């Protein structure tokens, strides 16, 4: 029997408020549509997806007043333990507000993550003490500089990172050489490297630059153009054909979870890319950020929607 990957995730948990226009979005005007509210966050979504894929997960985060363990969703793979979620009552819990067009694609978002900006890493000392018993550590850049240093200092297991946003991606620069896997989008990559990433050729250049800086595997997300996946030996362009799009929020988190799961299994780059894009396609089909049917990404039907083009070998 194959051993389950044991993965620690350190990142954000927040109150997600998602608005979707019922028609073509008119900026600077009130648009009829739907508004939903639920528990989310990059770190939490990744952790939930990893559980659905069959991993044992420890989740490290911080919340403000009003949070209860019962708020953590149960997606069918069990509810995440709140044992390593630190309560910081003097700050409000993090909040994320996203605006989506009628096609489900995100137009803009605002995040209030002050609780992580002000978080004292000493609060997490107990939670991060045994990170090295895991098979991998996943971090997101919502954590402040001091906390990122505290969480990654002395880590000997592979580190996986989501830079979260253009504004926060620069926090990751000092840790690039430590990363076994890094998943920026085109805008985040451009902010870190100092040149625009607009074409496949730009993305190839960016991937090579991150590899030269010491990153083990780079997944450069290009939204509807798929992704560039590269290591020191190989670079591929991976794309998927969505069957339908209900909601784009969470697709990138599912992609990173699948990449991490595959990394821990020692999967080759092509199978890693196939699984990651299949996971994002499954997530697009659900109206929430995490799809309980994520394990369908292992099926031949879904993986058949993925195409892989070698860019060099």
- Least confident among 119-128, 151-160, 178-187: 119-128
Six-digit token string for 44: 């939490």
Taking 70 as the threshold, does the pLDDT of residue 162 lie above it? yes
Six-digit token string for 83: 């044992």
pLDDT band at 70 (very low <50, low <70, confident <90, very high): low
pLDDT band at 72 (very low <50, low <70, confident <90, very high): confident
CATH hierarchy code of domain 6-312 = 3.40.1190.20
Q: Which whole number is the average pLDDT over 77-93?
A: 83
pLDDT tens readout for residues 204-224 = 999 999 999 999 999 999 988
């Amino acid at each position: 029997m194959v051993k389950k990957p044991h993965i620690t995730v350190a990142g954000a948990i927040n109150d997600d408020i998602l608005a979707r226009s019922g028609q073509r979005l008119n900026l600077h005007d009130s648009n009829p549509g739907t508004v939903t509210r639920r528990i989310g966050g990059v770190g939490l979504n990744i952790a939930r997806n990893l559980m659905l894929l069959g991993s044992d997960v420890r989740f490290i985060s911080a919340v403000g007043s009003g949070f209860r363990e019962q708020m953590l969703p149960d997606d069918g793979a069990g509810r995440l333990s709140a044992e390593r979620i630190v309560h910081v009552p003097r700050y409000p819990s993090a909040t994320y507000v996203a605006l989506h067009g009628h096609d489900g694609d995100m137009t803009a978002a605002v995040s209030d993550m002050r609780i992580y900006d002000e978080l004292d890493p000493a609060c997490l000392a107990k939670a991060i003490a045994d990170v090295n018993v895991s098979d991998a550590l996943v971090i997101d850049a919502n954590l402040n500089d001091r906390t990122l240093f505290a969480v990654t200092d002395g880590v000997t297991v592979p580190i996986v990172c989501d830079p979260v946003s253009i504004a926060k991606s620069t926090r990751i620069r000092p840790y690039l050489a430590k990363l076994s896997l890094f998943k920026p989008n085109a805008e985040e990559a451009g902010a870190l490297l100092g040149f625009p990433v607009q074409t496949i050729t730009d993305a190839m250049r960016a991937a090579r630059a991150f590899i030269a800086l010491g990153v083990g595997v780079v997944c450069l997300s290009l939204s509807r153009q798929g992704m560039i996946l590269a290591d020191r030996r190989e670079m591929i362009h991976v794309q998927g054909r969505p069957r339908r799009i209900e909601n784009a929020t969470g697709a990138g988190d599912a992609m990173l979870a699948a990449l991490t799961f595959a990394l821990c299994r020692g999967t080759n780059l092509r199978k890693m890319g196939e699984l990651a894009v299949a996971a994002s396609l499954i997530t697009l089909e659900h109206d929430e950020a995490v799809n309980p049917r994520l394990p369908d990404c292992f099926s031949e039907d879904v993986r058949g929607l993925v195409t892989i083009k070698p860019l060099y070998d």
